[in-house]
Amino acid sequence: MPSENLAITWRRIPERYRLAGSYCENCKTSYFPNRKLCPKCRRKGRLASKQFSGRGRIYSFTEVSAGPAGFELETPYLLAIVELEEGPRLTAQIVGATEKDAKIGDEVEMVFRRIMEDSPEGLIHYGYKFRLAKRCAPK
Amino acid sequence: MRRVAIAGVGMTKFGEEWTRGFRDMLIEAGTRALADCNLHGEEIDAIYVGTMAPGSLVGQEHVGALVADSMGLTPVPATRVEAACASGGVALRTGYMAVASGMHDCVVVGGVEKMTDTPGNEVASALGGAGDQEWELFMGATFPAIYALMARRHMHEYGTTEEQLASVAVKNHSNASKNKHAHFQNEITIETVMGSKYIASPLKLFDCSPITDGAAAAVLMPLEKAKKYTEQPIEIVASAQASDAIALHSRESMSALKSTQVAARKAYEMAKLSPKDIDVVEVHDCFTIAEVMAIEDLGFFKKGEGAKASYEGRTALNSEISVNTSGGLKGCGHPVGATGVKQAVEIVWQLRGKADGRQVKDCEIGMTHNVGGSGATAVVHIMRKA
């Protein structure tokens, strides 16, 4: 079983729990995950914290039929590259949908979910997943 | 810089080699490479060995010293080189630089991976380390999934189809069936690929390269010295490498590998050659979509036309450009760290006219293209008859 050190999980809470990333005040570029150094400006960069809205669109997606260790119970699942409305892209699962429901360009929004568990006595890791916006629009 | 040539090459059979371990395979490939250029061993003054994950797969680190010891070559300096699936190609480049610079006169470059001693899901986790552990793998990405995300974009942007992707696997199995070192020596059809189960849609089992054991080795020398050891030295006329974001989602494009494009451009400049000059190429086809992107990014076909070209047979043996005559990663197998060196072994055999039933006619110039992870490293070499 995979496991992740408690310290790593703890350090990543702002990003994984609420999509906190960074923004370079010098070149006006948003980054997710958080960057400690702006790759465009390097030493001239001025990075500040930035809260992302959690809204975006599917840039690409796949249905994973052979999941890695730790993801057995949820396989098959939909995995996507999501382009956040602020610009950066990230990798995340799409919940509550199958391959037939999704297409490139679909609007999605962030939800807070369990990502995986370490061995039965271990940590439960939480973080962001996404769901199709059209599925949760009021009727 | 000095001109550098490959004097000798050797490799093990690739496959599920239950009877042989990590060091057995290294010794076999290394011994064959030395014998190929009549070396006894005293001449060797450095070793570079490419291997990706021996620590995770067989619990062995400090592989440089292990190789020197196993080969009876201590106290020669021996260094492990790691760049995920490009470990072998980067080891070759490191050896090239050592000889070109004048630091060393006779270098052995090896590549090895022992994968079948480890359960499949642990192999998958170890290979996952080639991507971004915290932001891709943690979220449920696997390597087939990451390449599937690229395939979906390629299909979206250029109209590439699953049948066209399947034709890459069919061609590579056909080439592998003519290679006695290959993991899979059986031919398959489009239906075989299309009928196999999805691993990560749109990629199916037969779009994926296998888990393989194997090792490969090459002996590098200054060109003039190599002529004393072999009648057929093969000169390395270009060596180029480039990097990109470790995570796929941070790249500008997901239907092309910028690292391949940059490394290829530098290699063509260094060799003063262009894509039309290349007669035979070994590209990194860890998945069928990877070969499609490679033949576009290396300049053999226009962006977006690689899959169609493959389907039309324009990459088959002795067609427009002979791609992956060894069978590639799909057919010959993919012992990760060995792959980049095996590509060089195949090109040397082709340029020497010793490629048995898969010989490319009139071939003078060959290329290797080795990728690490999902494209965060790419390394390209161009070789020609000296």
Q: What ipTM was assigned to the predicted interfaces of this complex?
A: 0.95
Over residues A111-126, mean pLDDT: 87
Domain extent for A104: 54-139
Tell me the CATH number at A93: 2.40.50.840
Q: Are B14 and B211 in contact (CB under 8 A)?
A: no
Cα distances (Å, whole numbers) of residue B358 to B37, B300, B326, B351, B354 = 23, 21, 8, 12, 9
Q: 3-state SS of B213-239? A: EEEEEEEEEEHHHHHHHCCCCEEEEEE
Q: How many CB atoms lie within 10 A of CB B100?
A: 17
In a domain, A31, yes or no: no
Let me know the angle formed at the C-alpha of A30 by A28 and A32, rounded to the nearest 5 degrees: 160
Say whether B248 and A65 touch across the interface (CB within 8 A).
no
Chain B CB within 8 Å of residue A33 CB = yes
On chain B, the residues whose CB falls within 8 A of the CB of A1 are none
Residue A30 within any structural domain of the chain: no
- Chain B's closest residue to A117, CA to CA, is B138
- Does A87 reach chain B within 8 Å, measured CB to CB? no
Q: Does A123 touch chain B (CB under 8 A)?
A: no
CA distances from B166 to A69, B205, B257 (A): 28, 10, 20
Residue A48: both structure tokens together: 């500040």
Given an 8 Å threshold on Cβ–Cβ distance, is B125 in contact with A68? Answer: yes
Q: Which of B139, B154, B196, B201 to mutate to test the interface with A (most CBs of A within 10 A)?
A: B139
CB atoms within 10 A of CB B230: 21
Clarify whether B334 is annotated catalytic: yes
Contacts of A117 (CB under 8 A, 6+ apart): A70, A123, A124, A125
- How many contiguous H segments (helices) and E segments (strands) does chain A have? 3, 8
pLDDT at A136 over 80: no
Residue A21 pLDDT class (50, 70, 90 cuts): very high
Six-digit token pair at B166?
């399947």
Structure letter (DSSP) for residue A85:
T
User: Taking CB atoms and an 8 Å cut-off, how many pairs form between chains A and B?
Assistant: 97
> What is the pTM assigned to this prediction?
0.97
Catalytic site residue from B37, B85, B106, B332 = B85
Q: Is A74 part of a structural domain of the chain?
A: yes
Least CB-CB distance to A91: which of B122, B136, B197?
A: B136
* pLDDT attached to residue A135: 66
Q: With contact defined as beta carbons under 8 Å apart, do B201 and B188 qualify?
A: no
CB contact under 8 A, B199 and A66: yes
Contact B76, B48 (CB under 8 A): no
Tell me how many domains chain A contains.
Answer: 1
Calpha distance B236→A139 (Å, rounded): 66
Per-residue confidence (pLDDT) for residue B232, from 0 to 100: 97
Look at residue A2 and tell me whether its pLDDT is greater than 80.
no
**What's the rounded Cα separation, in Å, for the pair B328 and B334?**
8
Taking alpha carbons only, the member of B295, B329, B326 closest to residue B311 is: B295
Q: Residue A72's pLDDT is what?
A: 84
Look at residue A139 in the predicted model and tell me its pLDDT.
52
For residues A57-83, average pLDDT: 94
What's the Cα-to-Cα distance from B351 to each of B87, B109, B281, B360, B385, rounded to whole Å?
A: 23, 19, 11, 9, 6
- pLDDT band, very low/low/confident/very high, at A1 (cuts 50, 70, 90): very low
Mind telling me how many Å the CA of B136 is from chain A's nearest CA?
6
pLDDT at B367: 98
- What distance in Å separates the CA atoms of residue B329 and residue B209, rounded to the nearest whole number? 6
Of B144, B250, B254, the CB nearest to A60: B254
- Considering the candidates B104, B154, B334, B381, report the single residue annotated as catalytic: B334
Closest CA to B220 of B111, B107, B110: B107
Range with lowest mean pLDDT among A60-64, A115-119, B202-206: A115-119
List the domain boundaries for chain B. Answer: 4-119+212-234, 129-210+237-385
Indicate if B37 belongs to the active site: no
pLDDT in tens, B171-196: 999 999 999 999 999 999 999 999 99
Cα–Cα dist B64/B312, whole Å? 44
How many Å lie between the alpha carbon of A64 and the closest alpha carbon of chain B? Answer: 4
Positions in chain B whose pLDDT score sits under 50: none
Q: Is residue A77 domain-resident?
A: yes
- Identify which of B345, B384, B320 has the alpha carbon closest to the alpha carbon of residue B37: B345
pLDDT given for residue A4 in this prediction: 74
Cβ contacts (< 8 Å) between A67 and chain B: which residues?
A: 140, 142
In the block, residue with structure tokens 């493959």: B310
Residue B361, Cβ neighbours under 10 Å: how many? 9
What does the pLDDT read at residue A137? 61
Smallest Cα distance from B201 to chain A, Å: 5
User: Per the domain annotation, does A47 fall within a domain?
Assistant: no
Which homologous superfamily does the CATH classification assign to the domain defined by B129-210+237-385? Thiolase/Chalcone synthase (3.40.47.10)
Residues of B in contact with A89 (CB under 8 A): 249-250
Strand blocks (E) in chain B = 4-11, 46-50, 78-81, 107-113, 198-200, 203-204, 214-222, 234-243, 280-282, 322-323, 365-372, 377-385
Q: Does A92 touch chain B (CB under 8 A)?
A: yes
Taking CB atoms and an 8 Å limit, are B141 and A125 in contact across chains?
no
Q: Domain B4-119+212-234: what homologous superfamily?
A: Thiolase/Chalcone synthase (3.40.47.10)
